Chain A
Amino acid sequence: MTVVQTVLIYVGLPALGTAVLAVLVFAGGGRRKPRYRPGRGWSHDDVWYLPRPERASSPAHDLPELTAGVTSGEHSLRTAKGGASGTW
């Protein structure tokens, strides 16, 4: 075996393998979705989802209109009857 062959086999092949692995690992990493990690904080906007109405085509569905959008402050009406809390 010549010196060139030796170098190609013992240096070139491992380098090539490492490069292929690196490409596989980091490919597509740019558009990875943001993942929630407990304790890292949460900087997204607040969202509030309701179930889809039965007939999505009709804009005026049976659900009553929301009358208040303010969540802090006093509501004279208490609607909560029970529930549960949790922390993690």
Chain B
Amino acid sequence: MVPGEDEDRSGVPAGPFTAKQLSRLDEALTLSSRETGVQFSLYVGVLDASPRRMAEDMHAALGAAAADSVLVAVSPGERRLEIVTGEHTAKRLPDRACALAALSMTASFTGGDLVGGIVNGLRMLADQAGKAALLRR
């Protein structure tokens, strides 16, 4: 499984989302990442018996980018959400902030609003992480 492999190139989106939902997700991911300098990535799919472990393995699979990455893993089947921060991003996004975003997201998921929950969660995480420029320079 490689990130981005399900990108819509043929005009018909593969995967669980409609084109409109995909564009909302794309906008949320891209804007939050550009604003903050943190690379947010989103996984939607199966998380096996030990979801935390699997999410952390996926975070490790990001390789050199992992330290500056935040992985949001959503498993609608198992009703499980994992947010994983890396070495640098953990400083900007303390566990408490992640827990708050997770709470907001699961509240939306309970109502069946998968995309809305993800978009709002990403926005909350990005707000908490703050601007990239303020921290870098």
- CB-based A-B contact count at 8 angstroms: 188
Contact A63 B90 (CB under 8 A): no
Q: Name the interface size band of chain A.
A: 35 or more
Most chain B beta carbons < 10 A, residue from A38, A45, A49: A49
Contact B95 A48 (CB under 8 A): no
CA distance A87 to B107 in the complex (A): 9
A69-B61 in contact given A47-B15, A79-B66, A84-B95 (Cβ < 8 Å)? yes
Q: Name the interface size band of chain B.
A: 35 or more
The 0/1 profile, CB within 8 Å of B marked 1, for residues 44-83 of chain A is 1111111110100000000111111111110101111111
A-B contact pairs, 17 of them (CB 8 A): A33-B21, A38-B112, A44-B15, A47-B15, A48-B2, A49-B42, A50-B3, A50-B4, A52-B30, A63-B39, A66-B2, A71-B58, A79-B59, A83-B84, A85-B52, A85-B80, A88-B106
